Amino acid sequence: MKILLDAPFNSLSFGNVTYNVVRELFDKGHDLAIWPNGQNVDLGAFNVPSDLGNKIKESIDRRYDFLSEDIPVLKIWHLNGSEDRKNPRQYLYSFYECNMPTDVERKICNAQTETIFSSSYASKSFNKPYIPLGFDKDFFRTDKEYLKDVVHFGLMGKFEKRKHTGEIINAWAKKYGNNNKYQLSCCVTNPFFSEEEMNHVLNVCLEGKHYTNINFLPYLKTNEEVNDFINAIDIDLGGLSGGEGWNLPSFNATCLGKWSIVLNATSHKDWANEENSIIVEPNGLTEAHDGKFFLKGSPFNQGTFYTFTDDQIISAMEEAEKKVGQINTEGQKLADKFTYSNTVDQILSHIS
């Protein structure tokens, strides 16, 4: 099948999805041209085999040849910005974390030949199909020893209100701060924050205090570094996000046999359960707007995110401690259940 792929190539979640979809499309023998979103191509996060790198370059070089009413476009992007199209037939694969679709979002969604979402939560909001993401086969267990005789917690994901980054770090500090039997490693840099803004939000969540056992890592540029980070921790806290389109870091950690503390809401319900995760039930909702990424009254991203209490997550962390040293075998089964091969097959079934 001839396909024009309109998608971003970067080290963020969108770029990871694009890379895995491209790899599967080539492996399945499809005739592919690639239109990089924003025209920038950054493959630095991936260990790209030379033959795959050459195929990607050739597919980008011939993208204009695929401008045709007979060739379908597979677009991987936000709703915001998906109103444009290269060819008449456009199939949008998108991510949505909120719960109150606006008129503009519905119009963009309905303007596509088909819109497909990554979670059943988003699917129900728009009454559109849902196709789950898969486990990235470049991630693997290293089985190295990292911190001996230490319970190692990890938090990965951009610092955002939506992800409850500040609340998670604050609660952990109250429970384990300066107790060196425990370690918290945070990879929470946000590229849209200035250095001053980043320092401010970290200072606020730590209440101006310094802790000997909380480690803030710089942005991890490669998936190899991310893989090492996941392997180094015992317990993942990123699953406490209040709104997700899938939550790749926590999903990948669970697939690698780690224990993730997961808020039972939004996309998490598609893959996390009491057998493979430490489940926390939401206690309420908070408005999505944060003055920076989610703006009240905007034509995009309106609604609420799910919340929890400090007592709930402290109790969950205590429960997770009991699992340390045990491989999460039920979590590992997710890697076989959710694959990018299945993701691409299901997307192509809509296009064909």
Q: Give the tens place of pLDDT for each residue, 147-192.
A: 999 999 999 999 999 999 999 999 999 999 999 999 999 999 998 8
Element (H, E) at 115: strand 114-117
Low-confidence ranges of the chain (pLDDT < 70): 39
Residue 39 pLDDT: 66
Q: How many CA atoms lie within 13 A of 138 on its CB side?
A: 18
The helices-and-strands tally (H runs, E runs) of the chain is 12, 13
What is the maximal distance between C-alpha atoms in the chain?
Answer: 63
Q: Looking at residue 191, what is its pLDDT? A: 87
What per-residue confidence (pLDDT) applies to 255?
98
Which domains are assigned to the chain?
Answer: 2-136+339-351 (3.40.50), 151-337 (3.40.50.2000)
Q: What is the C-alpha R_g of the chain?
A: 20
Contact 278, 308 (CB under 8 A): no
